Chains A and B, each alone.
Chain A
Amino acid sequence: MKKKATEIDAILDRYPGEPRYLISLLQDVQAEYNYIAPENMTLICDHVGVPLTQAWSVATFYKSFSLEPRGEHEIRVCCGTACHLKGSERLAQSLERDLGVERGHTTEDLRFSLDTVNCLGACALAPMVMIDDDYIGGATQRGIRKYLKKI
């Protein structure tokens, strides 16, 4: 608990206490803890001097913030146009079936979070799935299944 407290302080110290650093701080906290816990949200508000309503409004507006803990592994199915034409919707649906969660959600055991993203900019390899930091180009339902079994 104590260690965590110093860590959040260290993150807060990266930015001056001005409202315009709200999003940067939320991003850093999201990156560090995988989600934005209510107590951290309050600390950020105090630091940059905005009411909780503004931080909550921002954190629920942008897609990259999560108010609940995310899974250990992030699965991101690219649903850019090129990937869509090459069957990304079928990939997303098969992952929903296999993992038993809808896109945008995390499995109960907190192993996997499943998301669709607008475009990863690697259209040459459509359809593309990103699992953590690995790009899987020309992805197939079976290929993804195999990959997930390995991790």
Chain B
Amino acid sequence: MSDNKEKTDGLVSLVIDGQPVQAKEDWTVLETARHNHIHIPTLCYHEAVQANGGCRLCVVEAKEGNWSKIVVSCLYPVKEGLQISTSTAKVNNVRRWILEMLLAECPASKEIRTLAEAYGVNSTRFKIDRPTEQCLLCGLCVRVCEEVVGVRAISFGSRGVNKQVATPYMVPNNACVACGSCVTVCPTGAMQARLNMVRGNVSERTGHGHAH
């Protein structure tokens, strides 16, 4: 690898969908694709916060020599000679099932419905437990609150199918500065819908000492 570094002066060369591209050493495959206007769908990715690879929608097939694997492009680091395909049979199988799962998890989100339709997924075979749900647990709200705002007013609670975004004990958290960043990054209407739980009724909150 070290000779490559010398040769390309901090840049690595790889191929995405047959197109030779160059990337900075510390870029991910997704960053490289975006830089080159190659579209890869995402939901839990946002430039403002660290990627966490949760929604898996950005999967691509990575090939190196005779080794190939499905990876998430938002986290996969670029490497000299890497070959990336953004739309293979395997990739599409993963993506279509994920979209179908999403239709069952957040059936009330029109953003999700539009996205699914774009990939030809119009209905779901999975059981819909909460018809009004819009949250896909991408965690952008949690990450932006911690990494950008720096207050950690919300977090994930529980795990697995019971996982949720909430404040401790699901009561308004005085740590919340009502900045609205969580609503801004939310890819659906989910965060707007739970604002009252997070910050309470703002008019009742005067005197709590959060007058930023």
Contact = CB atoms under 8 A, between A and B. Distances in A.
Asked whether any CB of A lies within 8 Å of a CB of B in the complex, the reply is yes
Interface of A: 38, 41, 51-57, 60-61, 67
B81 interface: no
Contacts of A60: 157-159
Contacts of B153: 53
Q: Name A's interface SS.
A: helix
Interface in B162-206: 167-169, 173, 175
B97 interface: no
* Interface bin, chain B: 10 to 19
A37 to B, nearest CB: 11
A56 B159 contact: no
A44 B20 CA distance: 54
Contacts of A57: 155-157
B44 interface: no
Contacts of B157: 56-57, 60-61
Contact of A53 (B154, B158, B159): B154
Q: Which 8 A-B pairs have the closest CB atoms?
A: A56-B168, A53-B155, A57-B155, A51-B152, A60-B157, A52-B168, A60-B158, A53-B152
A61 B168 CA distance: 13
Contacts of B175: 51-53
B152 A54 contact: yes
Interface in B109-163: 152-159
Interface of B: 152-159, 167-169, 173, 175
Nearest to B162: A60
B167 A53 contact: yes
Task: Please report whether the interface of chain B is mostly helix, strand, loop or mixed according to DSSP.
Answer: loop
A67 B173 CA distance: 18
Contacts of B155: 53-54, 56-57
A61 B158 CA distance: 4
A40 B185 CA distance: 34
18 contacts: A51-B152, A52-B175, A53-B152, A53-B153, A53-B154, A53-B168, A53-B173, A53-B175, A55-B168, A56-B155, A56-B157, A56-B168, A56-B169, A57-B155, A57-B156, A60-B159, A61-B156, A67-B169
Nearest to A51: B152
A53 to B, nearest CB: 4
A52 B151 CA distance: 11
B137 to A, nearest CB: 13
Contacts of A41: 168
Contacts of A56: 155, 157, 168-169
Contacts of A55: 168
Contacts of B168: 41, 52-53, 55-56
A61 B162 CA distance: 10
B165 to A, nearest CB: 10
Contacts of A53: 152-155, 167-168, 173, 175
Nearest to A52: B168
Contacts of A51: 152, 175
A67 B175 CA distance: 21
B169 A61 contact: no
A48 to B, nearest CB: 14
A51 B168 CA distance: 10
Contacts of B159: 60-61
Given A52-B168, A53-B153, A53-B155, 16 more contacts: A38-B169, A51-B175, A52-B173, A53-B154, A53-B167, A53-B175, A56-B155, A56-B157, A57-B156, A60-B158, A60-B159, A61-B156, A61-B157, A61-B158, A61-B159, A67-B169
